[in-house]
Amino acid sequence: MESKRLQRVPSYLFSDLDRKQEALQAQGMDVINLGVGDPDLPPPPHVVEALRQALNEPANHRYPPYAGTKEFREAVAQWYQRRFGVSLDPDREVLALIGSKEGLAHLPWALLDPGDVALVPDPGYPVYKTAVLLADGEPFPVPLDPQSGFLPDLETIPPEIARRAKVFFLNYPNNPTAGVATKEFFRDLVKFAQDYGIILVQDNSYSEIAYDGYRPPSLLEVEGAKEVGIEFHSLSKTYCITGWRIGFVVGNPKVVGALGKLKTNLDSGVFRAIQHAGTVALNGPQDEVLKRLEVFQRRRDLVVNRLRELGWEVPLPKATFYIWLRTPDGSTARTFAETVLMRTGVVVTPGSGYGERGEGYVRLSITVPDARLEEALNRITEAFKGFGQG
């Protein structure tokens, strides 16, 4: 029944995890899911109140503008100016999205013809590759080197591939590795894109989830970046509203316009009430965001310290709410993830779901309540004492 196009795409990683979790829960197991990056903390109260009030406005229940309300697009432009010092035209360089995943998944349809090459990070967020496949493009994996902080080595991309490439998907701070990028690296990327006529697609969804005073940059801060690049962002992680589905893309007006043209034929925009709440979130006080970072940083430190006590090699991430670690016994990612699940009832994500270079790694998310995270660590500590050593 499936089209040949759909047959090229594997089932989505997290839908598989959901099914396994449900099966174990049906058997009576108390499962703790550290597999999905879905913040457990509530949204800022003033943002929820803004949504509640907007729901009472009859006009908000009609079709919204396709590109997003002017109010929301202006709020995005103002936020980018305050946060990154980047100037944006809200009418030409900002587009509202039904969550950044939707925009990332649709972008290849707007930019690629069948057979066109797209450079995708390996390991990387699965949507980049699957979106290219669904658009009949050819994804070319670009290895992320752990020795360089999970940045790609641009010199290893074959020139003949670079000349065929139309887009280059990037994601810093990075999911799943938690790697981060510098402005210097972004400058190298812009030069690379200019040399080969490539559109840079930077997924900056985790820019506000960072620790120890680190402030992730925007690709668009680099001179010339807007000529060759766009940047996606999501309100999901920053304001803990993953279920609301609101994000945006900014940057090169031709690329933003192409995606907007596609979307007018596919969807009818973001619910006005949610756009109003998103505007309030971007324009309002950020105190609640900072409080959430304190919680995530405390959890990050707890997980890293407890797993290091087992003798495991665990990096301390500067951003995101993910811990990316090698399987301590050298087993495959899926084998180790299944071992953890069966021994402890704790779900971790096998790195192989993010690409060939994710093999031998697993990802843990710290987006569960403190008590559940403590319980998960207690189970892992008890079940894996001495595991993978000697």
Query: What's the pLDDT tens digit per position in 72-88?
Result: 999 999 999 999 999 99
**3-class secondary structure, 268:** coil
Q: Within 10 A of 325 (CB to CB), how many other CB atoms are there?
A: 22
Token pair, residue 53, equals 């009030």
Query: What's the pLDDT tens digit per position in 36-49?
Result: 899 999 999 999 99
* CATH for the 45-283 domain, from 3.40.50.1010, 3.40.630.20, 3.40.640.10, 3.40.50.10680: 3.40.640.10
Query: What's the pLDDT tens digit per position in 189-248?
Result: 999 999 999 999 999 999 999 999 999 999 999 999 999 999 999 999 999 999 999 999
With a cut of 60, say whether residue 390 has pLDDT above it: no
Apex 211 CA angle, 367 and 202, nearest 5: 80
Cβ contact 214:316 at 8 Å: no
- In this prediction, residue 10 carries a pLDDT of 75
Cβ contact 166:195 at 8 Å: no
- In this prediction, residue 17 carries a pLDDT of 64
- In this prediction, residue 209 carries a pLDDT of 98
pLDDT band at 13 (very low <50, low <70, confident <90, very high): low
- In this prediction, residue 12 carries a pLDDT of 63
Average pLDDT, the chain: 95
Of residues 174 and 15, which shows the higher confidence score? 174
* CATH for the 4-43+287-383 domain, from 3.60.21.10, 3.10.129.10, 3.90.1150.10, 3.40.50.1980: 3.90.1150.10
- In this prediction, residue 11 carries a pLDDT of 72
Annotated domain spans of the chain: 4-43+287-383, 45-283
- In this prediction, residue 92 carries a pLDDT of 98
Question: Among 6-20, 145-159, 224-238, 288-302, where is mean pLDDT lowest?
Answer: 6-20
Cα 351 to chain center, whole Å? 15
**Region label for 146, one of left (φ > 0), alpha (ψ between -120 and 50) or beta (otherwise):** alpha
Query: What's the pLDDT tens digit per position in 117-158?
Result: 999 999 999 999 999 999 999 999 999 999 999 999 999 999
End-to-end CA distance of the chain: 50
- In this prediction, residue 247 carries a pLDDT of 98
- In this prediction, residue 333 carries a pLDDT of 94
- In this prediction, residue 114 carries a pLDDT of 95
Mean pLDDT of 158-187: 98
Half-sphere exposure of 376 (CA within 13 A, CB side): 25
Cα 313 to chain center, whole Å? 24
